[in-house]
Amino acid sequence: MSGAGSPELTVDGTGLSVVIVAGRWHDVITDGLIAGATRVLEASGASWSLVRVPGSFELPVACKIALENGADAVVALGVIIRGGTPHFEYVSAAATDGLTRVALDAGKPVGFGVLTLDDEQQGLDRAGLPGSKEDKGEEAASAAIATARLLRELASR
């Protein structure tokens, strides 16, 4: 299940070690994202583990440590729902910028599955749950594995 315009990826994760790093906030949505990522990782043959952090703000530092400790890729999953204060913008920007920096500094992929939402229903529609229109956990894991494979290929040229 993927959104309009997103590529359908068949990925081979054989020999790859992947860490799913997921926030605890909005657990119904996040658990759906984790299930989607897990399905892809298991089907791909990658070895994987799951680490839970308090929220999306903490994703970058945990992803950084996972990559430093030998993971070939990480899948960052979180949920940020807009409220009545600027907190949404601060956390969204910090998570996005932080995860981008982690990927660039490590030279390893970070599958980005952080949902930024106006309301909870948008998350339920994108979490890969029964009745969801999209599966962003699946997409993030597929992208992480495909990018890890590509980076290995580029490094061997």
pLDDT band at 43 (very low <50, low <70, confident <90, very high): very high
Q: DSSP readout, 89-143?
A: HHHHHHHHHHHHHHHHHHTS-EEEEEEEESSHHHHHHHB--TT-S-BHHHHHHHH
pLDDT band at 144 (very low <50, low <70, confident <90, very high): very high
85 is in an annotated binding site: yes
Average pLDDT over residues 90-112: 96
> Is 50 exceeded by the pLDDT of residue 2?
no
Q: Which strand (E) or helix (H) includes residue 8?
A: none
Average pLDDT over residues 3-12: 64
In eight-state DSSP terms, residue 39 is H
Those residues whose C-beta lies under 8 Å from the C-beta of residue 101, and which sit 6 or more positions away, are: 60
Secondary-structure class of domain 17-156 per CATH: alpha beta
Q: How far apart are CA 57 and CA 63, in angstroms?
A: 11
20 is in an annotated binding site: no
HSE of 41 in the Cβ direction (CA atoms, 13 Å)? 26
Tell me the domain boundaries of the chain. 17-156
The sheet with strand 110-117 has its strands ordered as 47-53, 17-23, 73-81, 110-117
pLDDT of residue 6: 56
Q: Which residue has the higher pLDDT, 24 or 2?
A: 24
Specify the pTM: 0.92
101 is in an annotated binding site: no
48 is in an annotated binding site: no
Question: Which residues are part of the catalytic machinery?
Answer: 87
pLDDT band at 102 (very low <50, low <70, confident <90, very high): very high
Contact 79, 29 (CB under 8 A): yes
Mean pLDDT rounded to a whole number for the chain = 92
pLDDT band at 1 (very low <50, low <70, confident <90, very high): very low
pLDDT of residue 5: 55
Those residues whose C-beta lies under 8 Å from the C-beta of residue 51, and which sit 6 or more positions away, are: 19, 20, 21, 22, 62, 66
Strand-pair partners of 112: 76
Average pLDDT over residues 50-55: 97
